[in-house]
Amino acid sequence: MTFRSIAFFLTLVCTAMATETPDYEVLSQDGKFEVREYPALTLVRTTSGDGDFMRLFRYISGGNEAEQKIAMTAPVLMKHEGEDTGMSFIVPRDVAAGKVPAPKDAAVEMDDLPAGRFAVYRYSGGRNEANEQEALGKLRAWVDQQELEVKGEPLFGYYDPPWIPPFMRRNEVMLRIGG
């Protein structure tokens, strides 16, 4: 491996490590499965389909009523169920603690993810339907085995930018559970 390759790899890793992620408490762990308790999160989301990422990116780049730049966070959350289909960014803690600027784009809206308990499965690979369905199947099987009550539709979380090789990406599927 050349010096240039090592430097590139370290840049990718350090960039990913510097991105804010939500706080949560791990209540139990079983390999790649966890039960986590999350606080309420403020989201900015779009449900319009094509161009979701760029709409949200424009919002955090200053395309909001306050023309405020907002730091990117991870994961980017995806829903694929009925009216809730769409993509969301988690608003950083420091921004959510104050006045969150309203979007300028009518296709972008503010939302909240209520506090709660989630069963989570961590996996790698590219973002595609086959990977998502395989991961969701594993999580649902584990949830059934643990006799946990599911209380909502799945959320898919993507932590890494697209230039990270798929085998190195951190992806998660989450199901809200009772308890």
pLDDT single digits (tens) 108-160: 999 999 999 999 999 999 989 999 999 999 999 999 999 999 998 999 999 99
Residues forming a β-bridge with 69: 61
Closest CA to 132 of 74, 83, 85: 85
- Which pLDDT score, from 0 to 100, does residue 83 have? 62
Question: Which of helix, strand or coil describes residue 171?
Answer: strand
Query: Strands 41-46 and 108-113: what pairing?
Result: antiparallel
> Is the Cβ–Cβ distance between 44 and 108 less than 8 Å?
yes
Quickly tell me which residue has 């959350």 as its tokens.
77
pLDDT single digits (tens) 74-111: 999 998 876 657 899 999 999 999 999 999 999 999 99
- Which pLDDT score, from 0 to 100, does residue 15 have? 44
Is 50 exceeded by the pLDDT of residue 14? no
pLDDT single digits (tens) 23-79: 999 999 999 999 999 999 999 999 866 778 899 999 999 999 999 999 999 999 998
pTM across the whole model: 0.86
- Which pLDDT score, from 0 to 100, does residue 47 have? 83
Is 60 exceeded by the pLDDT of residue 8? no
